[in-house]
Chain A
């Protein structure tokens, strides 16, 4: 047992902290206001070795661990959760899946570019009629000679406009309505028949771009299939397992930022002749935030370290995400409350954190989905048993 951060984690933390303070913090309010994804800043993270951080160096990655990756996300999310969102989709949902499930040819073609930031990755699973119930997806991929022809609509696709490569899930077996008929594809941007749909305007995470994707007779070669035919849903679920650690880290960063802002404000603001940090009601909020944030951090790091050790982490990842995302929402709420009226204005960052926090309870598996995962583990049911709960 060694719970404290390793030297490498500290180095990554320091590097991302410094990068975020210099390149992100001065612009974050503007990006939020204008719903702008700063693609150039994002690509610079490739130069720092962050975009392929947990991938082996032989594929262009940073040779780091998931524990280091989690720390990087946390630091990014403290300053700009939207960018952390784009980052985690690129690294864990997309690039790491290409590494884990791709053929050598696919890896050779894409990984170095994904790690450098030349290519930005996206993950396309959700559709208008299926979110939590992802295996009900309707996008069709029909075999036609040497290719598949895809038709359907994907919704809420992060990085969609800037992405060069999509990890996209479609139904290849039309007779199988559930998880067993789904296949994963790697589809390059610019493929005829693939176009951007509506831009989604969001409450938070506004510096990450979110679009619908429309597939109209989009023809891809059979070599675009990643993993095994009709077993794509397993890729989606394994990816989300790892992704939960990333979202937990985001939530953790947001929550820590909310606490930091609250402490700063409470130490400076005076009311009734004394700094408001002298009031026990304020101190209690600070204490409760700090405890839950620390617990979130430990749950998150533990899940990451299990993944690094190649040990099962489905339940642990779900616990980390469930706990950290709730903590983020609550910490933002309490921090905003401590700020009073100022917290409700854009003069302070807390209103942005408050908006950003909410989605961590929703995406990459809602809190309800996490509870299904956890309760199955607690009740001794296997994780892929049909949902009876």
Chain B
């Protein structure tokens, strides 16, 4: 039993940390305030090989494992969660299903440029009426000769507009429920595929979030990912891995909030002593640090199960649930420990608190995680 990172994992972590500190963190405030897509950061990640960490070198990947990916992602998210989600969507939600379910042609055409960072990827499952209940999605795909014709509107697509390659889930027949859902690779610029509303969000404001509109959009059958009716399985498989990525994001945000609180409470003096010399403050820091460590271990466990090729649905849900709730309370506490200053945009902790919130919602709300976890627990007596 060994919980230490391997030398390779440490190397990737240090490289990501170095980039995060030197390049990404200095831009985070501006990205948040202007709501600008972090294109420059994306290029930096691409140049440093951080967009293909857990994939084969054959397709421009780094040939490393999932643990390496999540430790790197945590570091990037510690500096800028908006950049982190872009990396996470690219890796977990676009590249991973292509790698797992794609044909050789699809991998060469779509996966390889994604891993090199030459293209940007997105994942599109949610709709206005289908969030947690994803299987009730309505976007239709009708087979017509060698094509499928997609019609419908998708929502909350991260990396939307900026992405070149979209994994879109549509149904062959809503009557079939989840058995009708099929995944497609859709290129930006395909006729009949346009962008709708851009969402204005509480946090991760640099991450682009768009509505996708499909109006008789023809997608060649060669771009179907997996089999007809296999889409829901692909979507759920994808989210199992994605959730470990969101855990990493949440942990990065939480760690940033703790670091800010540790530094502020040591500098700020009231009643003639640093805030940190008050037991109520120091004990709060201890609890924050403990929960972050617990979340990190849950993340490592889920990622390492994935690396071992073992079922990690339960472990990923646990990591995501605990890490996201930790990020929320820890960042809220960090604002509190900063007092009035924490409520202003002069300090980054209010951004951490806004960014943290989404981790409890996307890629399966905390409520969905509890459904997954309790179902597994109650049937494993």
Bind each other? yes
Is B322's CB under 8 angstroms from A3's CB? no
Q: Is the CB of B283 within 8 A of A371?
A: yes
Which of B26-34, B86-94, B198-206, B298-306 lies at the interface with chain A? B298-306
The docked-state distance in angstroms from the alpha carbon of A286 to that of B371 is 10
A283 and B370 CA atoms in complex are apart in Å by 7
Within 8 A of A (CB), among B302-322: 304, 308, 315, 318, 321-322
Q: Which of A6, A9, A304, A379 has the most CB of B within 10 A?
A: A379
A residues in contact with B308, CB < 8 Å: 4
Query: A298, A301, A309, A389: which contacts B294 (Cβ < 8 A)?
Result: A298
Residues of chain A from 293 to 338 with CB closer than 8 A to chain B in the complex: 294-296, 298-299, 301-302, 304-306, 308-309, 316, 319, 322-323
Q: Is the CB of B298 within 8 A of A295?
A: yes
Would you call the interface of chain B mostly helix, strand, loop, or mixed? helix
- Out of B285, B301, B375, name the residue touching A3 (CB < 8 Å): B301
**Residues on B with beta carbons closer than 8 Å to the beta carbon of A259:** 377
Query: Is the C-beta of A132 less than 8 angstroms from some C-beta in chain B?
Result: no
A residues near B332, Cβ cutoff 8 Å: none
Residues in B with CB closer than 8 Å to A378 are 258, 262, 285-286, 289
Query: Does B344 sit at the interface, judged by CB under 8 A?
Result: no
Question: B185 to chain A: closest CB distance in Å?
Answer: 33
B371 to chain A, nearest CB (A): 7
Most central of A65, A298, A323, A388 by chain B CB within 10 Å: A298
* B286 to A: closest C-beta gap in Å: 4
On whether the beta carbons of A379 and B262 are closer than 8 Å, the reply is yes
CB distance from A360 to the nearest CB of B (A): 15
Question: Closest CB-CB distance, B39 to chain A, in whole Å?
Answer: 34
Which of these binds chain A: B156-164, B173-181, B274-282, B351-359? B274-282
* A298-B297 in contact (CB<8A): yes
Closest Cβ of chain A to B55, distance in Å, is 19
Q: Give the complex CA separation of A295 and B300 in angstroms.
A: 11
Listed stretches B4-12, B40-48, B109-117, B237-245; interface member: B4-12
Q: Is A375 an interface residue (CB 8 A)?
A: yes
The answer to whether B134 has its CB under 8 Å from any CB of chain A is no
Digit string of B254-277 for contact with A (CB within 8 Å is 1, else 0)? 000010001000100000000011
Evaluate contact between B293 and A1: CB separation under 8 angstroms: no
Set B285, B304, B318: member contacting A290, Cβ < 8 A: B318
A298-B298, A306-B3 known; A375 vs B378 contact (CB < 8 Å):
no
Additional pairs, 11, CB under 8 Å, beyond known A302-B297, A372-B286: A1-B6, A3-B300, A296-B294, A308-B1, A322-B287, A323-B290, A323-B294, A372-B282, A373-B286, A375-B289, A389-B283
3 shortest A-B CB distances, which residue pairs? A283-B374, A298-B297, A374-B286
Residues of chain B having any CB pair with chain A under 8 Å:
1-6, 9, 67, 258, 262, 266, 276-277, 279, 282-283, 285-287, 289-291, 293-295, 297-298, 300-301, 304, 308, 315, 318, 321-322, 369-371, 373-375, 377-378, 381
